[in-house]
Amino acid sequence: KMAEKQEEPSNTQNGEPDNAEEGEEKKKKLKREDLPPFEIVTGERLPAIFFKFQFRNVEYSSGRNKTFLCYVLETQGKESVTSRGYLEDEHAAAHAEMAFFNTILPKCESSLRYNVTWYVSSSPCVTCADRITETLKKNKNLRLTIMVGRLFMWEEPEMQAALKKMKSAGCKLRIMKPQDFEYVWQNFVEQEEGEEAKAFVPWEDIQDNFKYYEEKLAEIL
């Protein structure tokens, strides 16, 4: 457990002691377990095999019809609290993006500021994009940055319009660079018990695919 703690970016840079987040985490765990089991799968870290398949920034994402969403949620009030975790789609219920707003951040207190970063295997569908846009318009104290591995159905005019609306609502949309994949690997992927953390091994076309999607996104936005 100790070794794992070291990798966590420390809160001390905000002048906050690290243990502020401990109590918060415990509370979250309790809350999570009350959720109906089929609703939404959340976890501390996702299995490496899911990461290697789902996050791969391929051009044609056959078989990758599930969204994995890793989040860092920083709440700034009298003291800053940072929490992190991951969600994945459950077909019985919401997409991971919706689930984040339904379960992790159901309401924004107006006295607090929220900085949220998502690392998502692919960009949101039209419905989720619209929900993100509405949520950001309603909550001016919420900042959202979405780092995506792949663009979902980006050729569709409807999808392009939805992404533009997200941008105008203040959402920062970025394509994940190789370093971002490495960050997710270190912070959100299960490492084998008792082994040294395995280094992230980039796939062959990771940089080319990043460039490909970055150009597409720039054209759309």
Active site residues: 97
- Euclidean distance between CA atoms 137 and 143, whole angstroms: 11
Residue indicated by tokens 């502020």: 20
Provide the 10 A C-beta neighbour count for residue 154.
16
| 80 touches 20 (CB < 8 A) | yes
Q: DSSP alpha helices (H): ranges in the chain?
A: 2-7, 20-33, 48-54, 96-99, 126-138, 157-168, 178-188, 206-220
Mapped onto helix, strand or coil, the DSSP state of residue 80 is: strand
- Euclidean distance between CA atoms 49 and 45, whole angstroms: 12
N-to-C CA span, the chain: 43
Provide the 10 A C-beta neighbour count for residue 19.
9
